[in-house]
Amino acid sequence: MEYIQISIDGILYGSSYSLIALGFSLVFGVMRRINLAYGSSLLLGIAAALWVENKLNFSIIFFIPTVLIFCSLSNLYVERVCFAPHNTKAGVVVSMISSFAIWMQLDEISAQLLPDRTHSFPSLEVSTFEFGELFFRGDQILNIFIAFIISAILFLAVYKTKYGIILRAVSNSADTAKLMGCNTNLVNSLTFIVAGVIGGIAAFLVLSTESQVTPLFGFWCTLKGLVAMMIGGLGSLVGAFWGGLLLGLLEAHLSYQFGPVFREITTFSILLIVLIIRPGGLMGVNIYKDLKSRDERI
């Protein structure tokens, strides 16, 4: 019974990783770029929304759209500054370093907006409930539900709609797509905006379960999202969802067995082993084989 409870806790906690990994996966899938500033841009979106909320003092119904707007704006800023100027093949490394530089900038702006070390965050009033001997946290169930819905919508949008075809065309070969008349710059910007909206939802849900914001949230997001994405599969939306849940499950069990300090060590060891044995993640192998980027020099 104990193990079942731990598994449930782990999976429910992992749903927040899934949500963040989805945004990462979208950007990686379309642009083949790693956005190191993703977590920080979410933190900035949250910080800006909290700052506006402090000034205007409005209810949570208006707060959520504000978070989403600011998250997508900060993501768009990152895209314009770091990714748009370097969208050639040689620019992969340069854009990563640029996104690192912008990471520090965004963290600093967030620190200016939220001067306290910890800042309370409006939490959704959802109670816990019991099922036999098992406990469930209502807000975490909401998380996993929303993560599932978002990944389903994204999956349908990418594989069943006309916009999805454009997205996949740009992802497959940006140059060919450009020759066929796709506006690749616009597609890239829109991808970042969508990733910002998803990230905003993720950040809101994660922070409302923890009911506080710390300046470390940005780094936490980047790291966990990246690890969950890599475990699940590069650029695979379904993989990102399962990768997050798997990461949550493993972390919960390993930290229960070996103590909380081993939580992070095991996370990274799993990541390293997965990368060495199946570079491209557990579910992304097929996608990865198609990818020309495998042999592309970075």
Residue 216, interface with another protein (CB under 8 A)? no
Residue 101, interface with another protein (CB under 8 A)? yes
User: Which residue number, 65 or 85, has a Cβ lying nearer to another protein?
Assistant: 85
Rounded distance between C-alpha atoms, residue 252 and residue 254, angstroms: 6
Residue 296, interface with another protein (CB under 8 A)? yes
User: Which residue number, 34 or 150, has a Cβ lying nearer to another protein?
Assistant: 34
Residue 8, interface with another protein (CB under 8 A)? no
The one among 73, 94, 146, 157 contacting another protein by CB under 8 A: 94
Residue 102, interface with another protein (CB under 8 A)? yes
The one among 6, 64, 81, 285 contacting another protein by CB under 8 A: 81
Q: Are the C-beta atoms of residues 107 and 40 closer than 8 Å to each other?
A: yes
Residue 297, interface with another protein (CB under 8 A)? yes
212: left (phi over 0), alpha (psi -120 to 50) or beta: beta
Stretch that binds another protein, among 49-57, 175-183, 204-212, 258-266 (CB under 8 A): 258-266
Contacting residues toward another protein, per CB under 8 A: 32, 34, 36, 81-82, 85-86, 90-94, 96-98, 100-109, 111-112, 219, 223, 226-227, 230, 234, 261, 264-265, 268-269, 271-272, 275-276, 279-280, 293-298
